Amino acid sequence: MRWMALWFLIFLSACGGGDTPNFSLSVPGMTATVGSFGTTTVNVAFAPGATNQVVLALEGVPPGVTGSFDPPTVSSTANTSLLTVLVGGGVASGTYDAVVRGTSGAASNTATFRLNIQAGGGPPGGSGGSISGTVSIGTGGASAGSTDFVPGQVIVKFRAGVSLQSMQALQASGVNLQRVRRLSLEHTALYQAPLDAQGVLDAVAELSARPEIEYAQPNYILYPTLTPNDPLYAQQWHYPAINLPQAWDTERGQTNPVTVAVIDTGQLLQHPDFDPSRILPGFDMISDPNNARDGNGRDNNPEDSGDLMEPTQSSYHGTHVAGTILARSDNNLGVAGVSWGARLLPVRVLGVQGGSLVDITDGMLWAAALPVEGAPNNPNKAAIINMSLGGALPCSQAPLYQDVINRINAAGVIIVAAAGNNAQNAANFVPASCSGVITVGGTGPSGGRAPYSNFGTRIDVMAPGGNVSVNLNGIQSGGGVLSPLKSDPNNQFNYVFYHGTSMAAPHVAGLIALMKSVQPSLTRAEALDILRRTARPLNQTQCQGETDASRPTPPPGITATDCGAGLVDAQAAIQALGGAPVGSFILNTTPSSLSIAPGGTAQVVVGIERVGGFTGAINLSLQGAPAGVSGSFTPNPSAGTTATLALSVATTVPPGQYPMVVQGSAGSQTVNAALVLTVGTANLPTLKDVFMAALFWTGSDFDVNRSKGVTLSADTRTGSYSIPELEAGSYAVAGWKDINQNQTVDSGDYFGVYLVGRQVALVRPPASNINLSLELTSGTTAELERIPVLEAFKKMLERR
C-alpha cells in the first residue's frame, strides 16, 4: 500500500434503498497480497444531528476474498471502522472494484474503492507442521519493508577521478550489476541486477563501503503528498486565511511574470481555468511506460494520463496543485490562483506507481534548465520549483536528492517542498528534510495545524492545506482546498476539494511568485527570511492542531516551535519588499539528519546565508542535545558563510532519534536550523535471545492461543530458525530482539515481519525459506504501529 498516497476523500452519491440516506462513505484504495491481508479505514460522514447507526458490509470482491469491520457498526460519534481484507491463496492477482455498503434501516449508500491484489505469498502448504527460514539482524538502517524503491536498481556516485566508462558492471551481493545509463550528475550512474528488496539494500551497503564510491542508494519511489469575480472564489477560504486579497491590492503577479515548475503527475492542459498563453512547453520525465500509462517513456508531452487512484477516477494531483498557484483569476470562471501572472512549466514525474528518484531528480534538473542525460534542453528556466510529493526516509539516506538540490540552489532556483501528511516529524521525509528547500506544513480552516500535517523543527512555515472532514459554510468537505480537476466518469472538467501539505506548498510557491514579480532578483535566502519574519506564529495549542476521526488526539510532545515561523502572511510579505532591506541571515545544516553509534563522532556543515547586507559575526550553539551528546563549532563566532559542527556521542547514550537545533544569534536576532540525530548501537547485536513467533490468523484477527514461538540462541548476526508443531492454518511470522531488556517492543529494539510484495504475508505450514530481517525501531516512527502483527505479538509476549 502506498505509504505516502494522496490525502483526500471522495464522497459518492447515494444509491439503493428505499429512503434517502443521511450519510456518505469514503474508502481509500488498498493493496493486499495473495495469501495475506490488508487493512484500510472506512470513514462515514453523517448529516448534522444524525443519531442513527450504519451497518457496514463488503461487496464486489472475487471468491476467496473476505472482509471484516472493526467495529461493524458506526455512528456520528464513532464514524470510522478498520476494514481488514483477507485474500485466499487461490485468488487471481489484479485490480478489483470493491464496494463498502452502509445500511441504516431502509436507506443505504456505497463507496467503491480500488482493491489491488498482488501475486505472492509464501510457499504452498496448509497441512500443518513447521515454518523455517533465515533471519538476520540489521545495523539500524532501512529495512526492505520500510520505503518503496525500484526493484533491482541501485544509484552509484563514484569519487572524482574514477572513470564511468570503466564501470560498465559492478559485483555486489553475489550478482553482476549492469549499468543502465549515466545520470545527469557527474560520476553518477544507474545500475540494475535481478535482486529482491533486501538484496538491493545488501548491495547498497556493500558498495557504500568501497573507497572508490562516494555513495550508493536505492532508486526510491516517491508519491504525491495532495477578491476576484471567479464564481467559486467564495469557497476558497484559504486565501483570506493568509491575507492574500489584501496582497492582491498591491501585487497580482503580472508586473514581472515568474515561471513556476510543478514537479508532479503532469497537467490537464485543456482545463478551461488555465490560460494556454501562460503554459510553457513541459516534459514527461517518466521512464517506465507502464508507470506513465501513456504507452511510451520520456517525451515532451506532460499531459496527465491519470494515475487511477480510484477505480474510475484519477487524482490529477498536478493539476490541482498548479491551480492553486496560477489558475486564471478574475475571469468569471471557477476559482482563482495565488498569482495572476505566473507561467506554468509542467514536468511529469509521477505515474500510476508514483515516481522513481531518478525520474524526479532529472525532472528537477530539467526544470532548472540544467542538462539532463538524454533529454532536450529546457529553454524556459523556472524561478520556482514546487514539489508536492515525498517519501518516508531522511535526506541523508537519499544523497542523490541533496546533490541535485545543491545544484539547483547554485543555479538560483527556489524549491518549495510539502512537509508530508503522516503527522510525524518532517525530519524523516524527503525532500522535506533536505537542506536548501523551503519546507511547508499544512493548516486547516481553524488556522491550527491540520491533523495530517508533519511537524518539527525542519518546518519553515505553514500554509493552508485544508481539512476535508470539515463541512464549511454548509458545503460538504468545504474545509478542503478547492482547485481545478476533472471528473473521469462524465469526462467533464470540474473543481474538487483536496487536503494535504501538497495543497499547502503551492500557496507558498504562488506567494513567492508574487514576491519575485515585485523584486525579480529575490533569492531563496531573502524569500525565506521575509516569509519567516512576516509569518503569524502558531502557539502550542494551534500547533498541536486540529483533530479528525482518524487522529482524535494530536501527536505527543508538540510545541509551538514544531510549526516553524507560523502561518504565512501574503500582505505582510509583499509589504516587506517595499521597505528598507533588513540585515539578517538564515542557517542550514548538511546533512540535516545523521546516524552516529554510541562512542562515535561526526561532522555537520552549517551553511550561513546572509541577506540585506548583513555582515556581522554569528554565535552558534547546539540546542536540545540529550545527555552525552556534545558539539563544538569551528569557527565560532563565524563571520563567513560556513562553520563546522563536530558532534560527539558518548557510549552511554541510548539508541533512538533526537531532534536538535543549531541556533545562531547576532544581536537581537536568533535563527534556528533543524538537525536530527539517530543513535545506533555501537556493538552490533546478534540473534541471541531473539524471539521468533508464528501468529495464527483466524480470518479476522490473530489468535495468540493458537500461536507459537521460539527463542534463538545463536550468537551470530544471521542464522536459521524453525517454529515446529504448528496446526494447519495461516500464520504471520515476526521476530524481536529486546535491546533494552524491558520486555516490550519499543524504541531501540529490533523488530521484523515476513513480507511479500511489501505487505505482511501469511504462511501455511509446512513452509521453508521464510526469510526476514529485524531492523532498528524508532519511537518517532509510526510505521511500526501500522503493522497489524504488532498487537498480537505483544499479547503473545505477555503469555511467555
Write out the DSSP string of 457-512. Answer: TT--EEEE---TTS-BTTBTTTTSEEEEEEETTTTEEEEEEE-SHHHHHHHHHHHH
How far apart CA 282 and CA 756 sit, in angstroms, is 38
Q: Which helix (H) or strand (E) holds 319?
A: helix 317-326
Residues involved in catalysis: 264, 317, 502
How far apart CA 560 and CA 540 sit, in angstroms, is 4
State the amino acid at position 529 in one-letter form: D
Cell numbers linked to 621: 550553539
Outline where 535-661 has alpha helix (H): 540-544, 570-577
What is the Cα 245 distance to its own chain's centre?
Answer: 31
Apex 174 CA angle, 171 and 175, nearest 5: 60
DSSP designation for 518: H
How far apart CA 211 and CA 188 sit, in angstroms, is 15
The candidate with the shortest Cα–Cα distance to 110, out of 6, 17, 5, 1, is 17
Three-state SS for 202? helix
Cβ neighbours of residue 693 closer than 8 Å, sequence gap 6 or more: 707, 708, 709, 723, 733, 734, 735, 736, 793, 796
How far apart CA 196 and CA 200 sit, in angstroms, is 6
What is the Cα 624 distance to its own chain's centre?
Answer: 25
Are 121 and 756 a contacting pair, CB within 8 Å?
Answer: yes
Q: In 167-320, which ranges are E strands?
A: 169-172, 175-182, 188-192, 213-224, 259-264, 283-284
What are residue 516's phi and psi, to 5 degrees?
A: -75, -20
What are residue 310's phi and psi, to 5 degrees?
A: -125, 160
**CA within 13 Å, CB half, 433:** 28
Apex 781 CA angle, 456 and 71, nearest 5: 115
Cell numbers 502558531 correspond to what residue?
538
Are 232 and 335 a contacting pair, CB within 8 Å?
Answer: yes
Residues present in the chain in total? 800
Residue 708: count of CB within 10 angstroms of its CB: 19
